[in-house]
């Protein structure tokens, strides 16, 4: 075929495959057999391989076309992604409605009620109808660019349906349907469309994924939301493509072109553009209307194939939303009504003790299995000894449990009238159940800990934590494999992981050569992870991911951090005296120093890519600021930029190190804390004066 014929055939194939994808993944109405679909897809791939110039960003072949990345780049949202205020009370909902009516006294208000999807918020940016960027919410102003991973979601179109992008008004092109004289309205595609939604893992897909993981000897995921979030954080799109992810779009960011006037019409518009949306959306005007819709949704949501934890109430009219405005973090025209956690009664058969990677002894309730929120619960955390004493929880008690947010099983209370007559108060044995070492507890701590660093349970916990996605992200390094490594004496610290041979790993129970090689490849890839991941992965007491990042913003490499004094550490934002003491103690231990040298020899990255140079000279040099509330003229990120340009720095929380708190409208707990700690409070005008602008 000629070049023109190849291009035409490629266009026909791509459009046909997109149509079949939409029918299968969005409408659940397959329009072609699997073999016929595979034939079309294979022809497209062959055509692109023979003629690479035909490959486009929106080609169906590009859903899994991205290469693995070492880190996700940052993406700044054109418009902030705000969170929602929550309520659990119909009375608070009524108060919310009254506040809206007070702000809009002349308007007749109507509302939409939509399912609150329990997933991961994302923003998609389409330019001339083609998906160019997909990002996480992040801090609301910017998030991670995960475009490659989002492209793997088959229900998400890489190119929007509809008319040409040159049409500026919200008119529609008419297409005759096949068998009738009715017309289908096809809206024009905007030149720019930023659309917001939620990525989730379906209930059915989640169940199948966990069955597969169990069969392969891997630890099952705790819940669909965590599984979805973890999938989107994977660095290889080909692996993400194997996860059963879906997406629902429900809102707008930046749009160039005319937008429908109401939320209900926006959702219909997005659906016409080929974007997946929620099924039924309720509307109402009065408080009674909203309560009825919320209750109806509460019944209907259990039949949905995705997890929900509430209802989102939004002002339907988009123009009125602008008049309502927003606080610094949430719109005043929307609120989330959260459903109460489901509860159930069951019998507490025993209390066992788990030993964590830091030696923490955590009591766990072993329960008579009970079905709650769609899953069977047989265990629940009891947190610590003080919690057991406070609630007077005893073995043999009938207890009320709930899944807070439909996720975490917790013991709420004891049903005292059903308590056995001869029950005895539970006494925590002050020794490690694993290595029998005598437990210890600091005066300021509520947790008893095993002090033995060689305790097998701690060793397993440290290895598993090191391999976790949030830390070094080593494929296959889950609980099952880690336990076998310990049992067979192959690794008792993270440094020994990098000395493992293929034959050693492949020889373990339920480990084939391929899965063993995947694990070793994951270890090799982890050597290039940024320094903050390594510091977090080392499992230093009190050092989470946020603290690890704060340390790596201050120190350029691991050697600088190891040699830092407690005074240098405590001067860092987000690092208090307890954390500084813990970090200094850890790096001062000769065993830990030896471990660092093993990791250095193995070739791990010890350099920080997020280190920040000293503050620029300026009128605010050396000063730290906390922003709270809505400023009259500046947006939060604009105020932060002014401060940083003047040599100052913006921190997230008020402490004795804070120099000033900049307070605007509806300032909350940060303002109260500043006043309590006598930290100077200034307004926007004073901030601008100090900046010299």
Residues 6+ apart with CB under 8 A from 359: 432, 449, 450, 451, 452, 453, 455, 458
Q: How far is 130 from 228, CA to CA, in rounded Å?
A: 24
At a CB cut-off of 8 Å and minimum separation 6, what does 42 contact?
none
Terminal-to-terminal C-alpha distance of the chain: 65
DSSP class of residue 103?
H
CA distance 667 to 413: 35
Looking at the DSSP bridge assignments, the partners of residue 361 are 355
| Annotated active-site residue in 8, 116, 338, 514 | 116
Q: Return the HEC string of 65-84.
A: CCCCCCCCCEEECCCCCCCC
* Strand ranges, E, within 202-324: 245-256, 282-284, 308-315
Query: What tokens does 616 get?
Result: 């620029």
Instruction: Give, in degrees to the nearest 5, the angle at Cα 679 between 676 and 685.
Output: 120
Q: How far is CA 623 from the centre of its chain?
A: 32
CB atoms within 10 A of CB 513: 12
Q: How far apart are CA 601 and CA 594, in angstroms?
A: 11
Contacts of 134 (CB under 8 A, 6+ apart): 122, 123, 124, 125, 145, 146, 147, 149, 150, 151
Residue 120 half-sphere exposure toward CB, CA atoms < 13 A: 30
Burial 117-136 (b: 16+ CB within 10 A, else e): bbbbbbbbbbeebbbebbbb
Coil, helix or strand at residue 554: helix
Residue 649 is among the residues annotated as catalytic for this protein = no
CA distance 542 to 575: 10
- How far apart (Å, rounded) are the C-alpha atoms in residues 40 and 16? 8
Judge whether 650 and 644 are in contact, CB under 8 Å.
yes
CA distances from 217 to 222, 371, 492 (A): 15, 25, 21
Quote the tokens at residue 347.
């019998």
Torsion of CA 354, 359, 360, 363, to 10 degrees: 20
Residues 359-375: b if buried by 16+ CB within 10 A, e if exposed: bbbbbebebeeeebbee
List the beta bridge partners of residue 248: 198
A 10 A CB-CB count for 429 gives 10
What is the three-class DSSP state of 258? coil
Q: How far apart are CA 629 and CA 663, in angstroms?
A: 6
Cα 300 from Cα 281, distance rounded (Å): 12
Per-residue tokens: 48: 């692109």
CA-to-CA distance for 576 and 570, rounded, in angstroms? 5
Positions marked active-site: 116
């Amino acid at each position: 075929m000629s070049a023109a014929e190849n291009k035409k055939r490629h266009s026909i194939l791509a459009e046909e495959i997109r149509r079949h994808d939409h029918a299968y993944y969005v409408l659940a109405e397959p329009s072609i057999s699997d073999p016929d679909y595979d034939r079309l897809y294979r022809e497209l791939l062959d055509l692109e391989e023979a003629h690479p110039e035909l490959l486009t960003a929106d080609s169906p072949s590009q859903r899994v076309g991205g290469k693995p990345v070492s880190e996700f780049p940052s993406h700044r949202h054109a418009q902030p992604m705000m969170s929602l205020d929550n309520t659990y009370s119909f009375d608070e909902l009524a108060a919310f409605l009254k506040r809206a009516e007070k702000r809009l006294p002349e308007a007749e208000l109507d509302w939409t009620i939509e399912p609150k999807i329990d997933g991961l918020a994302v923003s998609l940016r389409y330019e001339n109808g083609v998906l160019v960027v997909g990002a996480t919410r992040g801090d609301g102003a910017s998030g991670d660019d995960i475009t490659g991973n989002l492209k793997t979601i088959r229900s998400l179109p890489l190119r929007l349906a509809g008319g040409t992008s040159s049409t500026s008004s919200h008119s529609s092109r008419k297409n005759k349907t096949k068998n009738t004289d009715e017309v289908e309205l096809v809206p024009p595609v905007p030149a720019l469309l930023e659309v917001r939604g939620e990525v989730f893992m379906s209930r059915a897909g989640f169940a199948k994924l966990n069955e597969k993981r169990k069969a392969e000897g891997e630890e099952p995921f705790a819940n669909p939301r965590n599984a979805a979030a973890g999938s989107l954080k994977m660095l290889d799109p080909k692996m993400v493509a194997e996860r059963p992810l879906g997406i629902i779009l429900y809102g707008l960011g930046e749009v160039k072109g005319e937008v429908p006037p109401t939320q209900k019409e926006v959702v219909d518009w997005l659906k016409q553009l080929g974007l997946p949306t929620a099924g039924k959306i309720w509307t109402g005007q009065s408080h009674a209307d909203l309560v009825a819709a919320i209750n109806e949704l509460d019944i209907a949501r259990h039949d949905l194939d995705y997890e929900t934890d509430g209802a989102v109430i939004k002002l339907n009219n988009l123009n009125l939303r602008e008049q309502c405005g927003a606080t610094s973090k949430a719109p005043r025209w929307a609120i989330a009504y959260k459903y109460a956690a489901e509860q159930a009664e069951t019998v507490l058969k025993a209390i066992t003790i788990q030993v964590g990677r830091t030696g923490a002894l955590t009591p766990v309730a072993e329960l008579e299995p009970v079905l709650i929120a769609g899953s069977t619960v047989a265990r629940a955390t009891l947190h610590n000894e003080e919690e057991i004493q406070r609630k007077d929880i005893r073995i043999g008690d009938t207890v009320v449990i709930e899944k807070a947010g439909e996720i975490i099983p917790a013991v709420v209370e004891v049903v005292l009238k059903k308590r056995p007559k001869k029950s005895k108060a539970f006494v925590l044995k002050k020794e490690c159940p694993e290595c029998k070492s005598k437990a210890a507890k600091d005066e300021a701590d509520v947790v008893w800990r095993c002090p033995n660093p060689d305790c097998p349970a701690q060793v397993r916990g440290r290895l598993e934590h090191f391999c976790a996605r949030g830390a070094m992200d080593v494929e296959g390094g889950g609980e099952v494999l880690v336990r076998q490594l310990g049992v067979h004496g192959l690794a008792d610290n993270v440094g020994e992981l990098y000395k493992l041979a293929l034959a050693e790993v492949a020889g373990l129970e339920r480990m084939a050569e391929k899965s063993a090689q995947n694990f070793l490849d994951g270890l090799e890839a982890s050597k290039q992870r940024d320094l903050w991941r390594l510091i977090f992965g080392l499992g230093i007491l009190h050092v989470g991911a946020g603290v690890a990042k704060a340390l790596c913003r201050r120190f350029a490499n691991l050697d600088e951090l190891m040699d830092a004094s407690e005074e240098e550490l405590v001067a860092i934002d987000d690092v208090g005296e307890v954390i500084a003491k813990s970090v200094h103690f850890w790096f001062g231990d000769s065993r830990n120093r030896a471990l660092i040298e093993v990791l250095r020899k193995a070739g791990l990255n010890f350099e920080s890519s997020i280190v920040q140079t000293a503050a620029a000279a300026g009128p605010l040099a050396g000063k730290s600021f906390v922003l709270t509330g809505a400023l009259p003229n500046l947006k939060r990120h604009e105020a932060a930029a002014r401060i940083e340009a003047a040599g100052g720095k913006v921190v997230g929380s008020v402490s004795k190190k804070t120099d000033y708190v900049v307070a605007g409208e509806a300032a909350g707990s940060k303002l109260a804390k500043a006043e309590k700690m006598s930290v100077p409070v200034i307004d926007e005008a004073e901030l601008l004066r100090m900046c010299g602008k």
